[in-house]
Amino acid sequence: MGTRWGILGTGRIATEMAEAIALVPEADLHAVASRSQAGADAFAERWSVPRAYAGYETLMRDPDIDIVYVATPNGLHRDNVMAALDAGKHVLCEKPFATSPADTLACAEHARDRGRFVMEAMWTACMPAMQRAVALVREGAIGTVRHLSASFVARRDAEEYPHLFDPALGGGATLDLGVYSLTVARLLGGPILASSAQGVWGTSGVDEMVVASVRHEHDVVSELAWGFRVDLPRGATVVGDEGSLRVSPLPNPSRIELVRGDHTEVIDLPPLGRGLAHEVIHVEECLRDGLLESPLHPMSAAVRTAELIEEFTTRA
C-alpha cells in the first residue's frame, strides 16, 4: 500500500485530484470528506474511495490517513490546514494557501513545529514543461533575462462559479488566477522585490481584472495580467539579451517555444492526464525523502505570493 490520501471537499478540483491520484501508483486515495454524507458517498462511489465521511474533522481523525489534500473554499483553508496538522497529517492545500500572508506564515510555522510536510498546491511549478523552461533560463539559453510577461485572463461567470465572486469565500481574480501569474514570474524571473497594480472591482466586491508591474532581483521587470472578464491567450514570455522563451498555456503548460536569432525550437512536453498527477508525484517524492517543504514551491514562496496578493487587493 502506498501513501494514503484523504481529500477534504468534493468540488471540481477535488474531482480532478482524485483522477490524478489514480494515475500515481504510489498514491492511494483512502478517504473523502464532504459537508454531507450524501456528497461524500457519491464522490466515494465514483472514485472507489473506501471511506466517506460527513464532516472534515472526522476524516482528520482517521489514523490511517497520511496526507490531507485541502480542496475546500479559499476562506476555509487556514482552519482546515491547522486542524489537519494538529491531527498529525501532512498537508497539500489548494491554492491560494490562505487568504492572508499572516495565515499562510502561521500554517507554515505550525507545520514545521509539528514536523509535517506542507505545500501549497501549485501544480504549475511541477509541470514538466515549466521545469524545463526554468532549467533553460537558468542555463542561459536566452542569455541574461531582462523582461517577462505573463497572462492568465479567463472568463468566469458568476452563475457557474459563484464562490469566485463571493468575498466571504475568498473570491476574486487575484486569489483564483493571479497566484499563477505571480508564481510563473517568480520561477522564470527570479525573486520579486517590488510591485504596483491597477484593478477593476465588480459589484460583488471582488477584483475581476488586474494588471501589475513587477521588479525582480537583477533588474528584471515583469508585466502581469489576470482576470475574469474576457478570454486572452494564457502563457508567459521571457526575453533575454540572446533570445526569448514562451511557455504555454497556463496553468498547465505543455509547450515551450525557444527563439534564438532566426531559429525557433519547439519543445512539447505533454502532461500526464490533466497535469495534477505531476503534483502528486512531486509530493510523493518529498515524503519519500523526508522533506517538510517542496524545493519547487517552498512555503516561503507561498508566503511571498500572499504578501503580494494582499498588496494588490488592497491597492488595486
Distance from C-alpha of 92 to C-alpha of 154, rounded to nearest angstrom: 25
Residue 88: its pLDDT value, please? 98
Place of cell 533560463: 137
Q: pLDDT by residue (tens digit) across 126-169?
A: 999 999 999 999 999 999 999 999 999 999 999 999 989 999 88
pLDDT at 13 > cutoff 90: yes
Kindly name the residue from 77, 95, 216, 282 that is annotated as catalytic. 95
Q: Is 95 a catalytic residue?
A: yes
Q: Is the whole model's pTM more than 0.85, yes or no?
A: yes
Domains of the chain: 3-119 (3.40.50.720), 128-270 (3.30.360.10)
- Interval 245-266: pLDDT, tens: 999 999 999 999 999 999 999 9
Q: Look at residue 315 in the predicted model and tell me its pLDDT.
A: 53
pLDDT for 169: 84
Average pLDDT across the chain, whole number = 95
Instruction: State residue 313's pLDDT score.
Output: 73
Cβ pair 238, 188 in contact under 8 A: yes
